[in-house]
Structure 1
Amino acid sequence: MKYKKLIAGLLLTLAGSAAHAEQIGSVDTVFKMIGPDHKIVVEAFDDPDVKNVTCYISRAKTGGIKGGLGLAEDTSDAAISCQQVGPIEVSDKIKKGKSEGEVVFQKRTSLVFKKLQVVRFYDAKRNALVYLTYSDKVVDGSPKNAISAVPIMPWKE
């Protein structure tokens, strides 16, 4: 019974309250005779706490038999680009730095222990939102990262 509760808790933690991505497209990078090819996948997600900011992530996805079964570990390679797509409203919580480094997106990149994350920072001096993507593991993360900044500008309709 304890194990069922532990597994349920782990699944809820993995689901989290972060945004969910929509796949925009992909390109094959390596042909695999059996199972899906290795790919670069492009996904989009909207910041769940800041209206009218959309981020695009490109990331490596491992194919082959293990990749097809969801058992492969994807590499830590990823890139991010975020844009203002309408009038931005930043909450006082974000402006006051109370949600500094908050995870706004997560994607599992191995069976259990590795995930790709996007965190948001607010640069008050430059009135900009900064998004950082990186990969981490329970024991050993990766220094590979990418960054995108969105200046908060007036929006003309």
Structure 2
Amino acid sequence: MKKCCILVFGLLFVCSHSALAEQIGSVDTVFKLFGPDHKIVVEAFDDPDIKNVTCYISRAKTGGIKGGLGLAEDTSDAAISCQQVGPIELSDKIKQGKDKGTVVFQKRTSLVFKKLQVVRFYDDKRNALIYLSYSDKVVDGSPKNALSAVPIIPWGAR
């Protein structure tokens, strides 16, 4: 009984720590007779540390019975595009280069071990924010990844 309770609380913990992203839309890619179809989901999230940067991620979501129950492992395919949506002010920590890659987004893509992550870097020389998305499960010797750059430009100045 004790092991059962630990398992249930463990599953609740895993499910409760999904990233906060707003689903924008989705398209079905494969019809499944039982359970939801396989699809590509588009989600948006705001950088938690830098105001006025929004990132959009498209990712594969496995359907079927296992997918409907949250037991399926999603593929590692994902794309990212980040945009400046207003004036950007960087903290001193980021400006001074002490922020050498910060995880700004995580989404579980399997029940236990696999996550889609987004890491932010600051390129001082080019005054740009770089967002790298990757799956932390190695696929064919290297993780699948995608990149988006946000040049920091004056906002509203004419």
> Same fold per TM (> 0.5)?
yes
The CA distance in 1 between the partners of 2:101 and 2:60, in whole Å, is: 24
CA offsets per residue over residues 61-104 of structure 1, 9 Å max, x none? 00000000000000000000000000001111112222221100
1:39-58 to structure 2, matched below 5 A, reads 39-58=39-58
Report the counterpart of residue 76 of structure 1 in structure 2.
Answer: 76
Q: State the number of aligned residues.
A: 149
CA RMSD in angstroms comes to 2.2
Identity %: 81
The CA distance in 1 between the partners of 2:32 and 2:73, in whole Å, is: 16
Report the counterpart of residue 29 of structure 2 in structure 1.
Answer: 29
The CA distance in 2 between the partners of 1:75 and 1:99, in whole Å, is: 30
From the two aligned structures, give the one with the greater strand fraction.
1
Aligned-residue offset at 1:25: 0.1
CA offsets per residue over residues 92-151 of structure 1, 9 Å max, x none? 1112222221100000000010000000000000000000000013xx465210000000
Report the counterpart of residue 90 of structure 2 in structure 1.
Answer: 90
Larger radius of gyration: 2
Report the counterpart of residue 103 of structure 2 in structure 1.
Answer: 103
The CA distance in 2 between the partners of 1:46 and 1:147, in whole Å, is: 16
Q: Which moved more, 1:50-59 or 1:92-101?
A: 92-101
Helix, strand or coil: the match of 1:94?
A: helix
Please list every run of at least 4 consecutive aligned residues from structure 1 whose deviation after the TM superposition is greater than 4 angstroms: 1-4
List alignment gaps of at least 5 residues for structure 1: none
List alignment gaps of at least 5 residues for structure 2: none
